[in-house]
Structure 1
Amino acid sequence: MRIGLLTESGYPYASGESGLWCDRLVRGLAPHEFDVYALSRDARQESGARLPLPPNVREVRTASLWAPEDDGRGYGRRERRGFETAFRDLAAGICAEQPPTGPGAAGPGAAGPGAGEAAGAGGSGEAGDAAERFAAGLYGLAELARSRGGLRSALRSEAAVRVLESAGRAPGARRGLAAATVPDHLAFLDRLERALRPLSLDWYDEEGAGLGRADLCHAASAGAAALPGLLAKRFFGTPLLVTEYGVQLRAHYLAAAEAPLATPVRALLAAFHGRLAAEVYRRADLLTPGNAHARRWQERCGADRAKLRTVHPGMPADRFAEVGEDEESGDPATLSWIGRAEPAKDLIALLHAFADVRRRQPDARLRIIAAPPREPGAAGYLAHCRNLAEQLFPDEAAGRHAVGENPVSFEELGGPEAPTLEEAYASSAVVVLSSVVEGFPVSLVEAMFCARATVSTDVGAVVEVIGGTGLVVPPRNPKALADACLALLRDPERRHRLGAAARARALELFTVEQNLAAFRGIYLELLSRAPVCRRTARAVPFAHPAEAYLPGSWADQPVTAAAGTGDPDA
């Protein structure tokens, strides 16, 4: 089977979030061939290192969503009319009032639980009409870009500004858009053109090149990465599988809220990404969220529950086997936090909680083991945490403790104190996660592989991952966090019992092997349900026997002389 793997700011770039799981997927499904179609977000990523590719990756095509690109083509009168018609539909869908999306979005005066389904699945009423117009405009622009090019110039033209301005002032438009200025419209159109750049790529060749030869498209997110998959499904009938281990729509909402943009621009961007996610969820043949948290977002945005199948991320368990089998390792008075230091991890609450722990159990220690900082603000946040620790534990700042007895230590993963992840987890009795925002908690799964008892805050997919094998407390509650840590520090038998249960759960649900087995079955299921009608000049119906899609060289096996003779001994 030939898979078109679609990524955005991920594989094969070494710095991408989806790089590791995509690499494991490609290597683990070696009998299948993969073509990688990668979108990059910035120059630093494009100029950085790439992961080494296995031999079953046949082709890699890349495109940027950041660099200015223009094919130099313009439109005549006929093409301009076609563009304005398609863009009018797209703008109407973006500007139309829509129900809030995301778990917990519905509230007093908000749309009810079924509103997201109407908005995303073409339901009746104005929400369904707006979704249909958005889809019609999106595919109209795709057809125009495929046949004529020139989409970049058209989206930045005066005509596009006029159409967007008219849509924002039409009856039923979102509140606040009527006040948008021309600079607001231009700022939004600049970002819209970058987001729609996959429509103009040369990945959709009818003669069998590019996505035209893929048996299946597998998108690593529901954002811009899924756009080529939508077009391959429309142009060639190629099945589309979308996997989300983080919620791309939520990431766009957070990024827009932090960006220095005018309110109308943020509203337009949020509306566009919401409509795009709903269209991806509606058209995909199957959605594989990585956890129940992502699944709830997809359902709220209109995803059909019949298309949803949770596939947990796969993580290598072998590296933690030695630690996990040694139940006696670890200092019984030590708590550890391991991860990337950033405000969402709420190390401030952890330090206040540990101050309470220290007052009630004076021999307790806290190790904060941070990965080397990658983001510009990470070092500053870590410095702020160090200053707070000096205020909360003045004896440490004054050096009054003996060497190795400081109650709080800040260490760097890979340094002399914590050279490897395995040693970092092995050194403690309890692993703590204090986050206020979390997707899939990778550090918790690693701690579970190591048979460590855990204390976590109830955010993201934490409860789903822990499943009763650890203690969970409300976020931003240092008192509850301290009480839970003390409960485990003072009860070694309970720690060992929870740690053993956690390891058994992790080995059952979160290994690379279970992840690969799930996708191996999904690939064959999708192909059996929706075989691709190839559009190559040499295409022959049923030219590939069904056995050709299974592991092994079935199609090339020689026919033996005894075949078909009826001889039972042959």
Structure 2
Amino acid sequence: MRIGLLTEGGYPYATGESRLWCDRLVRGLAQHEFDIYALSRSARQENGGRLPLPPQVRGVRTASPWAPASDRRGRPRRYGRRERRRFTTHVTQLAAAVCGTDAGLADEAFAEGLYGLAELGREHGGLHAALRSETTVRALESACRAPGARRSLHGATVPDYLVFADRLERALRPLSLDWYGAEDGLGAVDLCHAASGGPAALPGLLAKRFFGVPLLVTEYGVHLRAHYLAAADAPLSAPVRALLAAFHGCLATEVYRQAAVITPGNTHARRWQERCGADRAKVRTVYPGLEAEQFAAVGDGDDGGDPHTLVWVGRIEPAKDLVGLLHAFAEVRKAEPHARLRLLSVPRHEPGTATYLAHCQALAAQLFPDEAADAHAVGDNPVSFEEVGGPYAPGLADAYAAGAVVVLSSVVEGFPVGLVEAMLCGRATVSTDVGAVVEVIGGTGLVVPPRNPRALADACLALLRDPERRSRLGAAARARALELFTVEQNLAAFRDIYLQLISHAPVRRPAECVGADGRPLPFAHPAEAYLPGHWTRRDDGCRVSRGAAGGAASGTGPSGRGTTPLWAEQRGDADPGAVSGAVLGTVPGVGAGSGVGAVAGKGHGDA
């Protein structure tokens, strides 16, 4: 099977949230071929290089939405009168969908506008320039001032329209790419697998529209939710935020509507998708898979760690609420003077990280004035800030092994990967009730409300004071993680989904094998065409067997009966008996030269 893997800001580059699971998917399903179509995040990411790719990856195509747009196909940038009229119609439909409040009409108008623009860009190019033109600005202005427009858009001004038109063009950049060839693009794949429900899925929508390729959408972090969270800190006006939120909402709805199967990574993500219109019959939860082997030594043969130490592992950012955790630990320290807290962070150089880390270190020094919290050393300090994975830093498994209880204090969380890692290490956990935490824990740890340092402290004290309970919870957590959250279960789930999708949408065949109504002709491809072996494609589009089945396909195999190649039977140019004899003579259990060819071709046999 040939899979078109659609990614955004991740695989195959060395950074990005989707990097790990996509790499495990591609390597784990080695029986399939993968074409990777990647939307990169930045020039820095591209310059960082790609991961080493396995041989089943046929090729990688990369687009850069962050870069200035250009029409690489050399088509005219200026539209004629007819093209301008088409563009105006479709961009007006898109603007009306984004600005309107009627969800039913908005979904229909968005789909018509989106696919209309895609067809225009495919035929004439120049879409990126048109989306930044005055026509787009006028369409947005009319839609924002029309009756029934969203209230938040009534105060929009021309600068707001210009900013949104720029963001819109970048989001719709996949419509102008040269990825949609029938022979060397997405038209040649058997299935599109999108790693996000946002712009990364746009090529999959067009592949389904133009070629009927089924679309599978996997979201471990819902793109629409991520957009909402990122928009809160973006320096944009209220009307622009409203327009972007409406656009991404319409896009998510259309992606979920067109997808054949949707695989959220947890029930929390599933609720978001269903709220955006995903059909429950299409949704199947597939948990992310983690490599359990790297935690086996800690989970199976560990003594439980330092019984007085709490461990936190993750990225330093405000959403992790380390401030609340430090206040909670201050209460723990009062009740248990020997308690310690180790904060082990994953190195991450992003804006705001250093500032937040310095703020947390200053707070720790303030809360424990007589025991200054050094930035690196552990020693006798009750709180230590360390990094994971450095040349002199502990590894990930060693980080979890350092303490008896692992704490998660987040106020915003999707799928808590760090929590699963702690479970694989057999550690008892204390977590805040956010995201998919309760679903992941499943009764094998303590869960408290977020932003409640007192409750967090009480739960930590309860486990620090009860080693038997810690042991029971840790063993149950490891058993649950090994059952639900391993790479093996993840790969098995996607292997089944791929086969299910292809069974409902078979591999597409040449036009001569399709009837006038667009449906495959019965028996257009006899079963003999699917003998195991290496396959190639003739100039006329039909497949010919080589290698193990090469002799049978060419009529020169062990049966020695036929002289006409297998593809001739499909075209009606050969004696079916001779061809069938040539093929069946190599089928296991029938026996080469057993006379089957004579039976099939001459009406008698010598078997």
TM-score w.r.t. the length of structure 1 is 0.90
Deviation (angstroms), 1:161: 1.0
Deviation (angstroms), 1:412: 1.3
* Cross-structure match for 1:6: 6
1:82 aligns with 2:86: yes
Query: Is the 8 Å Cα contact of residues 361 and 373 (structure 2) preserved in structure 1?
Result: no
* Cross-structure match for 2:95: 91
CA distance 1:486–1:562, change in 2 (3 Å):
closer
1:274 aligns with 2:263: no
Deviation (angstroms), 1:157: 1.0
* Cross-structure match for 1:458: 433
* Cross-structure match for 1:115: none
CA distance 1:429–1:414, change in 2 (3 Å):
same
Deviation (angstroms), 1:403: 7.4
Deviation (angstroms), 1:533: 2.9
Match of 1:314 among 289, 294, 299: 289
Residue-by-residue CA offset, 1:6-27 (whole Å, 9 max, x unaligned) = 0011110111110110000000
Match of 1:506 among 473, 481, 486: 481
Query: Is the 8 Å Cα contact of residues 247 and 294 (structure 1) preserved in structure 2?
Result: yes
1:200 aligns with 2:176: yes
Match of 2:370 among 395, 412, 429: 395
1:66-145 to 2 correspondences below 5 Å: 66-71=66-71, 73-97=77-101, 126-145=102-121
Query: Is the 8 Å Cα contact of residues 369 and 418 (structure 1) preserved in structure 2?
Result: no
SS in 2 for 1:410: strand
CA distance 1:232–1:160, change in 2 (3 Å):
same
Deviation (angstroms), 1:179: 2.1
* Cross-structure match for 1:533: 508
1:255 and 1:84 mapped to 2: Cα distance? Answer: 31
SS in 2 for 1:336: strand
1:340-419 to 2 correspondences below 5 Å: 340-397=315-372, 404-415=379-390, 418-419=393-394
* Cross-structure match for 1:107: none
Deviation (angstroms), 1:41: 2.1
* Cross-structure match for 1:252: 227
Letter in 2 for 1:45: Q
Residue-by-residue CA offset, 1:106-159 (whole Å, 9 max, x unaligned) = xxxxxxxxxxxxxxxxxxxx4211110110000000000000001111111111
Residue-by-residue CA offset, 1:324-371 (whole Å, 9 max, x unaligned) = 012424101110001111100000011000000010011111101111
2:533 and 2:475 mapped to 1: Cα distance? Answer: 36
Return 5+ residue gaps in structure 2 as ranges.
515-519, 536-544, 550-585, 597-606
Deviates most, 83-92 or 534-543: 534-543
CA distance 1:224–1:416, change in 2 (3 Å):
closer
Deviation (angstroms), 1:299: 0.5
Deviation (angstroms), 1:419: 2.0
Query: Is the 8 Å Cα contact of residues 353 and 482 (structure 1) preserved in structure 2?
Result: yes
Letter in 2 for 1:93: A
Residue-by-residue CA offset, 1:351-394 (whole Å, 9 max, x unaligned) = 00000001001111110111113212111111111111111111
Query: Is the 8 Å Cα contact of residues 364 and 373 (structure 2) preserved in structure 1?
Result: no
1:546 and 1:455 mapped to 2: Cα distance? Answer: 59
2:533 and 2:483 mapped to 1: Cα distance? Answer: 25
* Cross-structure match for 2:570: none
Deviation (angstroms), 1:215: 0.2
RMSD: 2.4
Match of 1:263 among 235, 238, 245: 238
CA distance 1:325–1:562, change in 2 (3 Å):
closer
CA distance 1:80–1:504, change in 2 (3 Å):
same
CA distance 1:409–1:562, change in 2 (3 Å):
closer
SS in 2 for 1:34: strand
CA distance 1:523–1:555, change in 2 (3 Å):
farther
The percent of aligned pairs where both chains have the same amino acid is: 72
SS in 2 for 1:432: strand
Match of 2:166 among 182, 186, 190: 190
* Cross-structure match for 1:494: 469
2:534 and 2:88 mapped to 1: Cα distance? Answer: 51
Larger CA Rg, structure 1 vs 2: 2
* Cross-structure match for 1:49: 49
Return 5+ residue gaps in structure 1 as ranges.
98-125
Deviates most, 270-279 or 524-533: 524-533
1:507 and 1:546 mapped to 2: Cα distance? Answer: 42
CA distance 1:494–1:550, change in 2 (3 Å):
farther
CA distance 1:416–1:62, change in 2 (3 Å):
closer
2:495 and 2:398 mapped to 1: Cα distance? Answer: 34
Deviation (angstroms), 1:535: 6.1
Letter in 2 for 1:470: G
CA distance 1:9–1:415, change in 2 (3 Å):
closer
1:269 and 1:65 mapped to 2: Cα distance? Answer: 16
Query: Is the 8 Å Cα contact of residues 373 and 383 (structure 2) preserved in structure 1?
Result: no
1:429 aligns with 2:404: yes
Query: Is the 8 Å Cα contact of residues 77 and 126 (structure 2) preserved in structure 1?
Result: yes
CA distance 1:548–1:269, change in 2 (3 Å):
farther
Letter in 2 for 1:185: Y
1:551 and 1:389 mapped to 2: Cα distance? Answer: 65
- Greater RCO, 1 or 2 (C-alpha within 8 Å, sep 6+): 1
Letter in 2 for 1:447: A
SS in 1 for 2:273: helix
1:563 aligns with 2:538: no
TM-score w.r.t. the length of structure 2 is 0.85
Deviation (angstroms), 1:415: 4.4
1:547 and 1:331 mapped to 2: Cα distance? Answer: 63
CA distance 1:560–1:307, change in 2 (3 Å):
closer
CA distance 1:547–1:11, change in 2 (3 Å):
farther
1:216 aligns with 2:188: no
1:299 and 1:347 mapped to 2: Cα distance? Answer: 32
Letter in 2 for 1:488: L
2:3 and 2:396 mapped to 1: Cα distance? Answer: 33
1:319-334 to 2 correspondences below 5 Å: 319-334=294-309
1:68 and 1:457 mapped to 2: Cα distance? Answer: 43
Residue-by-residue CA offset, 1:82-118 (whole Å, 9 max, x unaligned) = 0001111111111101xxxxxxxxxxxxxxxxxxxxx
Query: Is the 8 Å Cα contact of residues 533 and 546 (structure 2) preserved in structure 1?
Result: no
CA distance 1:425–1:547, change in 2 (3 Å):
farther
Query: Is the 8 Å Cα contact of residues 534 and 547 (structure 2) preserved in structure 1?
Result: no
Q: What count of residue pairs does the alignment treat as equivalent?
A: 537
1:67 and 1:546 mapped to 2: Cα distance? Answer: 50
1:434-449 to 2 correspondences below 5 Å: 434-449=409-424
Query: Is the 8 Å Cα contact of residues 13 and 48 (structure 2) preserved in structure 1?
Result: yes
1:375 and 1:326 mapped to 2: Cα distance? Answer: 37
SS in 1 for 2:372: helix
1:164 aligns with 2:164: no
Letter in 1 for 2:417: V
Deviates most, 387-396 or 506-515: 387-396
Deviates most, 356-365 or 68-77: 68-77
1:38 and 1:23 mapped to 2: Cα distance? Answer: 13
CA distance 1:55–1:416, change in 2 (3 Å):
closer
CA distance 1:276–1:549, change in 2 (3 Å):
farther
2:200 and 2:533 mapped to 1: Cα distance? Answer: 28
Query: Is the 8 Å Cα contact of residues 373 and 382 (structure 2) preserved in structure 1?
Result: no
SS in 2 for 1:395: coil
SS in 2 for 1:258: coil
Deviation (angstroms), 1:181: 1.1
Query: Is the 8 Å Cα contact of residues 237 and 532 (structure 1) preserved in structure 2?
Result: no
SS in 1 for 2:371: helix
1:383 and 1:505 mapped to 2: Cα distance? Answer: 37
1:375 and 1:297 mapped to 2: Cα distance? Answer: 27
CA distance 1:37–1:398, change in 2 (3 Å):
closer
SS in 2 for 1:394: coil
SS in 2 for 1:525: helix
Residue-by-residue CA offset, 1:421-473 (whole Å, 9 max, x unaligned) = 11111111000000000111111101000000000000001001000000000
2:304 and 2:55 mapped to 1: Cα distance? Answer: 41
1:50 and 1:544 mapped to 2: Cα distance? Answer: 42
